[in-house]
Amino acid sequence: MDMKQQVKEYIINDQKQRISELKQLLDNIQAQSDIDEASVIDPEDLTRQSEATDMRLIQQARLVEAEDELLFMETISNDSTEKVGLGNLVTTDTFVYYIGMPCQPFQLGGKDVVGISTHSPIYASMVGKEKGDKFSFNDNTYSIIDIA
């Protein structure tokens, strides 16, 4: 498996883990908010139930977003292009960027890898560039060593 595919799989697996954690959190919130309203004596119990319901709705929205991001990642083409674009693995003199979905930096094959989206400010600085080109971002200049 080439590095580009390894990076994509790492990001997908990381997203699957995030989804699993969100589902567990939702289960915990659901358990906290399940009370029999007819047997409630303390009005604070109803307030806590309402807060838990609000939290559940927020986490459900996060879960839907995470599942949509996973689906998006799984549909990104692995085809290589000569210019920086969606699905490319861009090796610079400092980092390796995967263009698809943002993720925390990680190490792979001794290289620092970071996932970025097409909405990222740094992506706007590198989109359309080719191997050997330079781009600037936050007062730093980067050289593109390879595009896969």
CA 100 to each of CA 10, 12, 137: distance values in angstroms, whole numbers, following the listed order: 12, 11, 19
pLDDT of residue 138: 95
pLDDT of residue 120: 95
Residue 97 neighbours by CB distance under 10 Å? 24
pLDDT of residue 53: 79
pLDDT of residue 48: 63
pLDDT of residue 29: 82
Give the distance, in angstroms, between the CA of residue 138 and the centroid of all CA atoms in the same chain: 22
The whole-angstrom separation of Cα 148 and Cα 142 is: 17
pLDDT of residue 80: 84
pLDDT of residue 43: 56
Strand, helix or coil at 72?
A: helix
Please say whether the beta carbons of 123 and 32 come within 8 A: no
pLDDT tens for 17-45 read 999 999 999 988 887 766 555 555 555 65
Residues 37-60 as b or e (16 or more Cβ within 10 Å = b): eeeeeeeeeeeebeebeebbeebe
Averages of pLDDT over runs of 10 residues in the chain (148 residues) are 93 97 91 61 60 86 96 92 95 96 94 96 97 96 96
pLDDT of residue 118: 95
Tokens of 136: 């600037």
